[in-house]
Structure 1
């Protein structure tokens, strides 16, 4: 099973470390002094982490060092200068619609690969998960949270919107009305509520967070990979299919599994 501290990194750059042990990869945010605040460089490193996963990986654990999972976008983003070598918010606003769309799409890539059907991703979340940090936790399939977790979507209070892929999973998890209330008010969602409304799969004492994520990854690895991949694809697509379409998708998936188990697959 993965040991977060002692595994040789596949790479480590710009506040992100990727380690792999057998079928489990761990992506760690490594800037605890800034509460793992996010930058475009960090987003590119997260995108690279997804592209660097060996084919043997079945489960990815996402975690943050220190007291906070991620306190959101680095405040330097809100200065006129922005980050060195990166367009500031003002530069982005002055660009063409196409350029602005392309830049945001590039940033979103860091948040998209976690839901690949061949992987199950687990966010182990402690302390602050604010804005971009909240959206990064939402990018994962499952969330294990510490009892000190504080989720909040603060973009609206800054005159912005959540644009790092967080709105779709948030609505899927908690429903439209509650998602609107959480985003529009920017209030904190603590561990008990997060578990109750479906944001968190499990809440544990902070000292047990890493162990709980490892235990969940072990449970996920117990089933055959192909069955988990087919099941995840069925569940992810269920909301977009009619009842009859979902029945047909189940039949097709089960047919593939039966043929595979009988040694008759392609």
Structure 2
């Protein structure tokens, strides 16, 4: 058994399954009886998957078993007993500043690697995607949703804030005013609104979700990898550049592509 296979067994115990088929990796949340409620153990597994993906992987599909993508944080984290072996919220609140900051930063690793420049990631979302579930879907580059999808950011209504790397992509996708309203009200966002506002790329009937994501992954794999990496980097950085800076970045990227295609080294 390889080290990756051994790790994969422990990840599945935490509710995360990894399968690799050529250039595509599929990450599945596999706690359907708990509606894929998330725990620190699941976050550690997700972060480890990101660190240990083979370099041959180009597209990562994030999906979930059962009727819901993820019901959000395991509510046991709010209870005095907590989750065995994990700090509950009372323990976190009592921690020193650095320990608390480091703990949350560790949780965020599970949500932040999905936008790596060498990958394109797709979230296939059905049913409820609440709180941490919503933020996990937001971590991906693209979202394909079932027509029954219901997004909600519940943290503020619980006296907290969304802290799992979801606020920036949400604001970039739907704009500040709508992002503020979604977060503060905690209301549900369905498939039609998600597509209309740019939160989702495509909505399909639930029984067509898997096929739609598979087709999209195939289309993404059809383009040359280095061109995809350069294009993603251009688009990711566009928001922080002026028009002239972006033009300059385009020229530099195209020069690299032309020389690579012509076999001319640095």
The whole-number CA distance in structure 1 between the counterparts of 2:218 and 2:41 is 32
1:10 CA displacement: 7.3
Name the structure 2 match of 1:67: 67
The whole-number CA distance in structure 1 between the counterparts of 2:144 and 2:89 is 33
Per-residue CA deviations over 1:231-259 (Å, capped at 9, x if unaligned) read 00000000011111111111110000000
Q: Which has the higher helix share?
A: 2
Name the structure 2 match of 1:78: 78
1:194 CA displacement: 0.3
Unaligned runs of 5+ in 1: 1-7
Question: Would the alpha carbon gap of residues 242 and 176 (structure 1) be closer, same or farther in structure 2, given more than 3 Å must change?
Answer: same
Name the structure 2 match of 1:203: 203
- Output aligned runs, 1:186-265, within 5 Å: 186-265=186-265
**Secondary structure of the equivalent of 1:217?**
helix
Q: Is structure 2 residue 158 aligned with structure 1 residue 158?
A: yes
1:9 CA displacement: 9.6
Name the structure 1 match of 2:32: 32
1:88 CA displacement: 1.2
RMSD over aligned CA atoms reads 1.1
Count of aligned residue pairs for this structure pair: 259
Relative to the length of structure 2, the TM-score reads 0.96
* Contact 1:10-1:19 within 8 A present in 2 as well: no
1:265 CA displacement: 3.0
1:76 CA displacement: 0.4
Name the structure 2 match of 1:5: none
* Contact 1:10-1:18 within 8 A present in 2 as well: no
Unaligned runs of 5+ in 2: none
Name the structure 2 match of 1:125: 125
* Contact 1:10-1:20 within 8 A present in 2 as well: no
